Chains A and B, each alone.
Chain A
């Protein structure tokens, strides 16, 4: 019996779903490996029934998202959070760090329904069994994940920092060049793709359990970055899952407001 699998998306850019089909060389074998019941992004006929695994892209931004998510959770044995939005809230969740007046006029007045809910990662609402982090996730990682499922191998997250692969790839350390690279506190598994292209890490795969956050912040300050900048940079992709942020960032004044909206997601680290 092949595993029944579905790929779904809620609020998001569909980039993570694209990452799945960007596996041009493997996609046909991949589809062959499992029983692909639903993939509304590319498939016309989607059988919405009971799944073994549902891969979920996107974050919960409105009530429709929540309804879809809860239904799919109920219908699946395992729920996989696909990409940064689903895992950490990513860029769309950033709206919580700024005042409503700053963004309301852009689109949200027209799109009333978006204000129904706090923008939040899916594990704020339902139990998530596995995470495939990244904005977008590494396409090979998705293939490996599915391959492991098929042979009954528990997929293990890559917990070491981005620097591990970066240094093995023979890159120059961007911190040495004065760039605000978050590699040392960010979980790797992406083959340090950004730094290979000389672009600093923004931390899209989430913090490592073992990160030395004190030191990272000190290093960025030493390189001339102010706290507002550091705070913004660290929040861009993983704001909702970066713990203890207020403790460090009290000087900027946004901290007090943050306390009401920020809940440290401890479970993510355990």
Chain B
């Protein structure tokens, strides 16, 4: 992969140029760190990993699938501006890559595609594990970015990962200088992120130690809302109050951690027990998804642990299983 050098001195200027060409979205710190549209590049916060994932920019919390005018369904015309995302960690990028697989490989989800297609993904390689809960080193994440920035003392090394990345380098060539430096495999790893031991959990489904997590689970769904990959949704219809013949079909995020997730007409719930729901998430992340897409759904970002009110550390639970 091609590598370029950017001096830190001119880096904000580069970002400002990106911001004036596209909508720039990067982590900023309010109460918590989250991805927001940037008005001033000085606000960008890179010290800490974002608490919230970036997924809502592609897979929206709630969106209209169609309108119904009384006779036919009308697909809304969407127009997402071209956006550049900066400050994406390896886990964020993997989350996008995995959602791409779900929404763009097997099916063509027009809503996701529309939000996703005009976007540049500018990564930021974590110099060290940004949170004590990180375990991306255990997840064998693939390289997935348009440009990845490696933080050095006075400069960034920029690795180009796609045609889109090359396009950006050309467009902002003033800031990218040629260099002979290479990025070694060692530099691509993040120290201290290999917490999860390699284990075949498919044989551990009935293990008694899951209870350690289940007992302290509130089923509050923080884990699924904060996961960069969790992509479950539900669909519902809403009628217009002006004319009850008109309606909208909407989809919104939903979470496998609540009983309603599997409730059918007649009020039967297929996953009623908290334990089943708890394990369903872990197994979907580390086992089921792999069957279908050949990659773990989990990206090892640790947000589900950091965001959990009781800090259920499933990594520790799995490691301690015999």
Show the binding face of A for B, using Cβ within 8 Å.
Answer: 26, 29-30, 33, 143-144, 147, 150-151, 159-161, 163-164, 167-168, 170, 172-173, 175-176, 183-185, 209-212, 215-216, 219
A-facing residues in B211-225 (Cβ within 8 Å): 215-222, 225
Shortest A121–chain B CB gap in Å is 23
B235 contacts partner chain A, Cβ-Cβ < 8 Å: no
Shortest A80–chain B CB gap in Å is 18
Q: Which residues of A contact B259 (CB under 8 A)?
A: 159, 209-210
Q: Which residues of A contact B285 (CB under 8 A)?
A: none
Q: Majority SS of interface residues in chain B?
A: loop
| A159 close to B258 (CB less than 8 A) | yes
Given contacts A147-B241, A170-B34, could you give 6 more A-B pairs where the C-beta distance is less than 8 Å?
Answer: A147-B238, A151-B239, A159-B258, A160-B255, A168-B225, A172-B31
| B218 close to A164 (CB less than 8 A) | no
Determine the residue in chain B with the shortest Cβ distance to A198.
Answer: B31
Determine the residue in chain A with the shortest Cβ distance to B253.
Answer: A168
* A29-B241, A210-B258, A215-B215 known; A164-B32 Cβ under 8 A: no
Shortest A245–chain B CB gap in Å is 18
In angstroms, Cα B221 to Cα A167, docked, is: 8
Q: Which residues of A contact B241 (CB under 8 A)?
A: 26, 29-30, 33, 143, 147
Shortest A143–chain B CB gap in Å is 7
Determine the residue in chain B with the shortest Cβ distance to A154.
Answer: B265
Q: Which residues of B contact A184 (CB under 8 A)?
A: 218-220, 309
* A159-B258, A161-B221, A164-B258 known; A150-B244 Cβ under 8 A: yes
Q: Which residues of B contact A33 (CB under 8 A)?
A: 241, 244
In angstroms, Cα B32 to Cα A172, docked, is: 7
Q: Which residues of A contact B52 (CB under 8 A)?
A: 170
Determine the residue in chain A with the shortest Cβ distance to B223.
Answer: A167
The proximity string for B residues 239-268 relative to A, scoring 1 for CB distances below 8 Å and 0 otherwise, is 101101000000001010011100000000
Interface size (B, Cβ < 8 Å)? 29
Shortest A209–chain B CB gap in Å is 7
| B309 close to A164 (CB less than 8 A) | no
In angstroms, Cα B244 to Cα A21, docked, is: 20
In angstroms, Cα B222 to Cα A150, docked, is: 35
Q: Which residues of B contact A185 (CB under 8 A)?
A: 218
Q: Majority SS of interface residues in chain A?
A: helix
Shortest B316–chain A CB gap in Å is 18
In angstroms, Cα B258 to Cα A58, docked, is: 30
B274 contacts partner chain A, Cβ-Cβ < 8 Å: yes
Please name 17 pairs of A and B residues whose Cβ atoms are closer than 8 Å in the assembled complex, sorted by A.
A29-B242, A30-B241, A147-B239, A160-B255, A161-B220, A163-B221, A164-B221, A164-B225, A168-B225, A170-B34, A173-B307, A210-B259, A212-B217, A212-B219, A215-B217, A219-B309, A219-B310
In angstroms, Cα B241 to Cα A29, docked, is: 6
Show the binding face of B for A, using Cβ within 8 Å.
Answer: 31-32, 34, 52, 61, 215-222, 225-226, 238-239, 241-242, 244, 253, 255, 258-260, 274, 307, 309-310
Determine the residue in chain B with the shortest Cβ distance to A150.
Answer: B244
Q: Which residues of A contact B32 (CB under 8 A)?
A: 172
Q: Which residues of B contact A215 (CB under 8 A)?
A: 215-218, 310
Q: Which residues of A contact B244 (CB under 8 A)?
A: 33, 147, 150-151
Determine the residue in chain B with the shortest Cβ distance to A185.
Answer: B218
Determine the residue in chain A with the shortest Cβ distance to B237.
Answer: A153
Q: Which 10 A-B pairs have the closest CB atoms?
A: A163-B220, A167-B225, A184-B218, A160-B258, A29-B241, A172-B31, A184-B220, A164-B221, A175-B309, A167-B222
| A212 close to B253 (CB less than 8 A) | no
* A168-B61, A175-B309, A212-B217 known; A144-B238 Cβ under 8 A: yes
In angstroms, Cα B226 to Cα A170, docked, is: 9
In angstroms, Cα B259 to Cα A165, docked, is: 16
* A170-B52, A173-B307 known; A160-B217 Cβ under 8 A: no
In angstroms, Cα B238 to Cα A210, docked, is: 27
Q: Which residues of B contact A161 (CB under 8 A)?
A: 218-221, 258
Shortest A183–chain B CB gap in Å is 7
Shortest B267–chain A CB gap in Å is 10
Q: Which residues of B contact A172 (CB under 8 A)?
A: 31-32
Q: Which residues of A contact B310 (CB under 8 A)?
A: 215, 219
| A167 close to B307 (CB less than 8 A) | yes
Q: Which residues of A contact B34 (CB under 8 A)?
A: 170
In angstroms, Cα B186 to Cα A179, docked, is: 43
In angstroms, Cα B321 to Cα A61, docked, is: 56
* A170-B34, A210-B259, A210-B274 known; A163-B222 Cβ under 8 A: yes
Q: Residue B218 contacts which of A29, A168, A212 (CB distance < 8 angstroms)?
A: A212
Shortest A49–chain B CB gap in Å is 25
Shortest A197–chain B CB gap in Å is 13
Shortest A84–chain B CB gap in Å is 22
In angstroms, Cα B218 to Cα A163, docked, is: 10
Determine the residue in chain B with the shortest Cβ distance to A172.
Answer: B31
* A33-B244, A151-B244 known; A212-B222 Cβ under 8 A: no
Determine the residue in chain A with the shortest Cβ distance to B62.
Answer: A168
Q: Which residues of B contact A216 (CB under 8 A)?
A: 218
| A210 close to B221 (CB less than 8 A) | no
